[in-house]
Amino acid sequence: MKTGQLPVRGALARLASSLPVLLAVIGGYPVNAYERLQGPTELLFYDKEKAFSGYTFFGVGNRTFLLDMEGRVVHTWPVGTNPHLLDNGHIVDASKDDPSGFQGFKEVDWEGKTVWEYTEKREDYAPHHDWVRIFNKQLGAPTTLYIANKSISNDQAIAAGADPRKGPYEGGQMDAIVEVDLQGNIVWEWWFFDHVVQDVDPAKPNYVGQGKSVADHPGRINLNMPGKPLKRDWLHCNSIDFNTVSGHIVINSVQGELYVIDHDGTFVAADAKASIVKAASSEGDSLYRFGDPARYGQGDPPRVLENWDSATSGHKQMGGSHHASWIPPGLPGAGHLMVFNNGQYLFQRTPQSSILEINPFLDASGRDTGKYVNPPDAGYRRETYDRDTHNLPRLISRQVVWSYRSMNSHGFFSHIGSSGQRLPNGNTFICSDTEGHFFEVTAAGELAWEYINPVTRDGPVKVLGNVLPIVNSAFRAYRYPADHPAFKGRALTPKGTITERAEKGIDVYRKRPQGDHPRAKVVVETVAVARAAAVAVGDSEAGKIAMIVRRGMTRARNERTVLVHWPFRRRAAGLQSPTAIE
């Protein structure tokens, strides 16, 4: 065995070298991975020479863990939805253990004591998924940026140029970015709805213009996207990050696009109203967008070909994407964007996830212009795949300067969540949410460290069997250096692995009763209430009740359906007609 390489789980580590391999797209060097029906959790592999030494940070089961390189716990916090570590050792997290929807945030200190809380009290705003604590230079103070779905009425939608033939637009929502200071004051806000364009009604001020089309407005969102009328959680944005150098924000939509907007250039100090007005103006239009140029008429969409056993991704670069972020100053690739491409909606025969590093400043000649370049203007290259994958060639943006994917999609694929992080030594740390799979790869794609989250819905396990996806999921994970400011003066003594601590009763986990699955519970409760309502309202409403039950069951497969049954329950209990429920 190679010097400096730590054996883990004995036979497993020796077996790994003969198993199918992962591949970095750029570099082409193999790393280890495999398909399995049962296997050990926690630390699988650790190459001391290649790995970036530090501490692994992730939240799961309403608890956040800090692990050393050998997978031993050195600290925990009593929150764990989508924790964000601050330089003072505090954590900012959601107020509820569900990243897809919550009412606010709380900050806990190193000992787990709550030191700050914020609740979104406006009825038309629904915080979800992500937030980031920043230092607002113009205020000279820290603030928190967060994503929230903001409600849109049918009248608002029609007034903005939504196609009346596709309405009514009841229950519509579009994501906003809200900035709040530590006193709970809203100091800035940006809303996608203020930056829509349409080609339906020439009388509206946001009309594309005479002789023009949506393609002439890449900085705005087409309100009448083909096949995608305005609805609840229309864009489903799931990540936000702030560039401390440029003052720009990147926000990602699960549909497969990321958007860059100017925060500092639209912020007016000491005047929140003026800030919101400025952010809603043309100065707040997107500076850059990447992922799906067909959405703004500058590329081809994915489609099934005439021989329907084949398809093309068109110019679409990513789908189901998560965790778009800026590579921080001082790291390899600083100023570039990194995003986890979950690999959905790309019409591949064997879909797979990947990590993309994007230089948004590259032009068609490969020159770094120092300013944002529209991706279609930079052009594409043709990428081919091994014949045994059965995947057809794809067009890849020339602005993708590094990427990582598995040679065999069974080694690395997550259909939800996930994250990617550039490390100081040039390695990339990856969290594959669906399988609770954390691993670190070098720039050449060689495996340096690998770990399986042992925390399931029923507590930690040492061996994970043939289970459904996301049983041991983790939304994100990070690696922090030992000299991170949050750890200064802290005693980071190993206190056993997660499973060892559970066996000793150090960490106690609530085990759910059989069948206690949040999304399944939504279906059960929705059906139960629907049946009761059907009895109450009579046969005349039976068809409507059946329709709502079908909708409820469909939404229970969606990340945001945990709350869907509540409005229905209220209406049914009051014996009101449910026809308006969407």
Examine residue 518 and say whether the peptide bond preceding it is cis (omega within 30 degrees of 0).
no
Highest mean pLDDT: which range of 95-109, 470-484, 559-573: 470-484
Token output for 544: 């409507």
**Residue whose entry in the numeric block shows the structure tokens 């509206």:** 204
pLDDT for residue 548 is more than 70: no
CA distance 366 to 582: 47
Q: What share of the chain is helix, strand, coil (3-state, %, to 5)?
A: 20, 30, 50
Which of 345, 347, 340 minimizes the C-alpha distance to 325? Answer: 340
CA distance 176 to 170: 18
Query: What is the predicted pLDDT for the residue at 368?
Result: 98
81-136 pLDDT, tens digit per residue, is 999 999 999 999 998 767 777 889 999 999 999 999 999 999 999 999 999 999 99
Find residue 181's DSSP bridge partners. 143
180-214 pLDDT, tens digit per residue, is 999 999 999 999 999 999 999 999 999 999 999 99
Average pLDDT over residues 563-578: 28
What are the extents of the domains in the chain? 5-95+110-188+213-503, 518-573
Please return the burial class of 26, using the count of CB atoms within 10 Å of its CB with bins 0-12, 13-18 and 19+: middle
Name the band, by pLDDT with cuts 50, 70 and 90, for residue 469.
confident
Say how many C-beta atoms besides its own lie within 10 A of residue 194's C-beta. Answer: 21
pLDDT for residue 27 is more than 80: no
Which of 456, 470, 448 minimizes the C-alpha distance to 499? Answer: 456
395-445 pLDDT, tens digit per residue, is 999 999 999 998 787 789 999 999 999 999 999 999 999 999 999 999 999
Mean pLDDT of the chain: 85
Query: What is the predicted pLDDT for the residue at 37?
Result: 85
Answer left, alpha or beta for residue 243, where phi above 0 means left and psi between -120 and 50 means alpha: beta
Percent residues over pLDDT 70 in the chain: 81
274-327 pLDDT, tens digit per residue, is 999 999 999 999 999 999 999 999 999 999 998 888 999 999 999 999 999 999
29-44 pLDDT, tens digit per residue, is 334 456 778 999 999 9
| pTM score of the predicted model | 0.84
- In sequence order, the 6+-apart residues with CB closer than 8 A to the CB of 576 are none
Average pLDDT over residues 386-393: 87
Query: What is the predicted pLDDT for the residue at 498?
Result: 97
Which of 133, 136, 145 minimizes the C-alpha distance to 92? Answer: 133
Say how many C-beta atoms besides its own lie within 10 A of residue 95's C-beta. Answer: 18
Q: Judging by DSSP bridges, how do beta strands 221-222 and 196-197 pair with one another?
A: parallel
Lowest average pLDDT, out of 216-220, 421-425, 462-466, goes to: 462-466
Let me know: does 348 contact 373? Beta carbons within 8 Å. no
Query: What is the predicted pLDDT for the residue at 33?
Result: 54
